[in-house]
Amino acid sequence: MITGLHHTGLVVRDLEAALAFYSQERAFRLVHRFEVADTATNRALLQIEDASAQAAFLQGSLGGLELFEFRADRPATQAGRDVFSAGIRHICLQTAISDRLFDALTAAGARSHARPAGLGTGNSYVYLRDPEDNLLELEGTPWAPAGATRPWFAHTAIVTHDIARLTRFYAMLTGIEVHRQGDFGPAAKFDVVAGIPEVRFKGAWLRLANAELEFWQYLHPATTATAPRDAAAPGWNHLCLESDDIEADFARLVAQGVETHGPPQDFGLARLFFCRDPDGNLVEILQPPPASTTCVRMMLEDVEGRLVDAARTTYRQAAASPPPPAPPATRTWAVNGIELHGLEQGAGPPLLLLHGFPDHAAAWRPLMTRLQGSLRVVAPDQRGYGDSSRPAAVEDYRIDLLVADLIALLDALGLPEVHLCGHDWGGVLAFELAARCPGRVASLVALNAPPREVLQHMIWHDPAQRAASQYISLLRSPGADASFHESAAEGLVERFLGDPRRRGRLTDEEVAAYRAAWSRPDAWRPMLAWYRAAPFDVPAIGAPPPGSTTGASSPLIDCPVLLIWGERDAVFVPAMAEAIAAACTDCRVERLTEAGHVPHRDEPDRCAALIRDFIAHHPIDTAKGSTKT
């Protein structure tokens, strides 16, 4: 079985210069130098025509580095060495949070486009290039043990065009599953570290005993497939995994159909073989001799290795068991002649969450929990919903009054400018507020929600959307009062919530909150009044469309818009997403293939990550009262 990440291999043009560089700040120490002979066995192992090389093995804390200088001439430059290029892309050295290692390496000839910076995790990060243009990552950690006197090896990073396929391969190879994965960007903080504007990527981590494998798939700019790596080409050329039974691991990989370069061979006192991962990266499997002082076990038993491993284990355990988040506080605001009840949580950039039909403020709790710690989040029960005021007349739910409620709420909260996030009817109002009061809206996130004019245009001119929108006429009809009534709450719970409850997307507690809200006397009349007062014209199926085509691209929304679109929506047709984007000057569309009309309920983690990153990329400029992009 695989016991850890033994070392990472690097092909250099000047071995002596590389030894001097990687010995800076005692990051690595030279253990031994050796020659690779140009034999048929070595050529077969490495799949190259001339295997002759000078080499050196350097030991670091918790990981090794193997340097090769091949004698055969190689191209002056090696293609595909961008941050987003496929292949073994970098190694990471960790220290306490300090610029000391960065300054030492830059003084020794490294270059970087930026100095170490934070990503909001408590760590600092920087990419730099060694004198031969190979990428390194330096990471400062808040948990660094006081007794650590040198940097330590943290991970080897592999960039791929297919992260799902590659992580499955390494899980099979190591017997360890990925422990963390996610989607990142766009956000200014990532742009700074990567040195790429609007960078977006997927990431995954697989934790071995001494270090991690880190995987990246860049979406913008996109990582593309490349040819299998030439083992003697300059740059990071292989990663080495240690085995405690190399014959068994070889047989296991052959049975899995993995491409190998032949059976295990003796190399000095060790045994090894090479194989290729699905991307064509070179992987060495090594079984050190029993008395080896550079094996993974000895790395972990080394004094500094023990210190670092103990400190990071304590940190990981604490991170895995964070204190439970504080529940949102309940609030009541006097606005526009009524009272709005709602929830408020956190500090930071303000985000106003606007629910749709037939929800209430508490429907946002799962998303609020995931956004905790980065934003000031306010979620009101809108007029007629939950514990907010319920005016009696239908005309009290005109869209002008609903927008006026929001403007007054922003004033009550002391917010000259805000980020908006709306779902369904809440999204319609968010677009309305952005169109009428552009100076009050820094950015807008729409969750399966269109601007009012776009919806009207689609109802008139898209037969499928007209058919899907016939429910509006149903909710306006006199008969709706009998069907949508507190006495029918149990049936309505099944109608609206039965499927998501069975799919595990709603907890029993959340369903109980809906049941309680929908069972209150006079609960449904004001919710239906939103539709009865709405300025929507919904012709019957097959009726000719009105002569006017105005509204297809109006209002033009000027603020940055993130449209999160659940593709399994039964309320809005797929063409609606394109129509919404066309009505905005700056709209990014994120499609969630497994989500329906309520994407934040179906995929709350994904939605929270998208919202957080989008807002980070469009901060409110408190000095100027505008946003910076």
Give the pLDDT confidence of 342-380 residue by residue, as tens digits. 999 998 999 999 999 999 999 999 999 989 887 999 999
Q: Which residue has the tokens 């037939």?
A: 358
SS3 content of the chain, % helix, strand, coil (to 5): 35, 30, 40
pLDDT level of residue 624 (50, 70, 90 thresholds) = very low
* Local structure of 271: helix, strand or coil: strand
Distance CA 531, CA 425 (A): 10
Count CB-CB contacts under 10 A for residue 501: 17
Among candidate residues 487, 491, 7, the one with its CA nearest the CA of residue 237: 7
- Rounded CA gap, 585 and 24, in Å? 50
Q: Which residues contact 521 (CB under 8 A, 6 or more apart)?
A: 486
More confident residue, 319 or 163: 163
With CA atoms as reference, report the closest residue to 99 among 42, 163, 151, 135. Answer: 151
SS3 273: strand
Averaged confidence pLDDT in the chain: 92
Tell me the pLDDT band of 74, cut-offs 50, 70 and 90.
low
pTM higher than 0.85, yes or no?
no
Number of other residues whose CB lies within 10 A of the CB of residue 564: 27
Write the CA distances from 414 to 246, 388, 417, 442, integer angstroms: 66, 20, 9, 15
Given pLDDT bands bounded at 50, 70 and 90, which one contains residue 625?
Answer: very low
**260 sits in which H/E element:** none
Token reading at 403: 């927008």
Question: Nearest-CA neighbor of 130 among 212, 65, 73, 201?
Answer: 65
Beta-ladder partners of 584: 557
- Distance, in Å, from the CA atom of 497 to the CA atom of 511, rounded to the nearest integer, reads 7
Write down the residue that tokens 């809200």 correspond to: 517
Average pLDDT of the segment spanning 463-480: 95
> How much is the pLDDT for 623?
52
pLDDT band at 75 (very low <50, low <70, confident <90, very high): low
pLDDT digits (tens, 9 = 90+) for 182-230: 889 888 888 888 999 999 999 999 999 999 999 999 999 999 999 998 9
Query: Residue 121's pLDDT is what?
Result: 74
For range 429-450, the mean pLDDT: 96
Smallest CA-to-CA distance from 196 within 241, 159, 167 is with 159
Which tokens in the block code for residue 598? 């309520």
106-144 confidence digits (pLDDT tens): 999 999 999 988 777 788 999 999 999 999 999 999 999
Q: How large is the average pLDDT for residues 512-531?
A: 93
Q: What is the mean pLDDT of residues 48-73?
A: 95
C-beta of residue 565 within 8 angstroms of C-beta of residue 599: yes
CA 441/CA 421 separation, integer angstroms: 10
Strands (E), 438-516: 441-447
595: Cα separation from own chain's centroid: 17
Q: How confident is the model at residue 80 (pLDDT cuts 50, 70, 90)?
A: low
Residue 204 has what pLDDT? 96
Which 8-state DSSP code applies to residue 613? H
Does 321 have pLDDT greater than 50? yes
Q: Does the pLDDT of residue 505 top 90, yes or no?
A: no
The pLDDT value given to residue 628? 37
- Range 398-421 average pLDDT: 97
Pair 109, 131: CB distance under 8 Å? yes
Residues 522-569 pLDDT 10s: 999 999 999 999 999 999 999 987 765 544 445 579 999 999 999 999
Domain coordinates of the chain in residue numbers? 2-319, 331-476+523-538+548-627
Write the CATH number of the domain with boundaries 331-476+523-538+548-627.
3.40.50.1820
Across 396-418, average pLDDT: 97
* 259-262 LR contacts (CB < 8 Å, sep 24+): 261/44, 261/45, 261/46, 261/47, 262/44, 262/45
- Quick: pLDDT tens for 575-615: 999 999 999 999 999 999 889 999 999 999 889 989 988 99
Q: Are strands 200-207 and 180-184 parallel, antiparallel or unpaired?
A: antiparallel
What DSSP designation does 361 have?
G
Report the CATH superfamily, name and number, of domain 2-319.
2,3-Dihydroxybiphenyl 1,2-Dioxygenase, domain 1 (3.10.180.10)
Helix ranges, 70-146 (H): 100-107
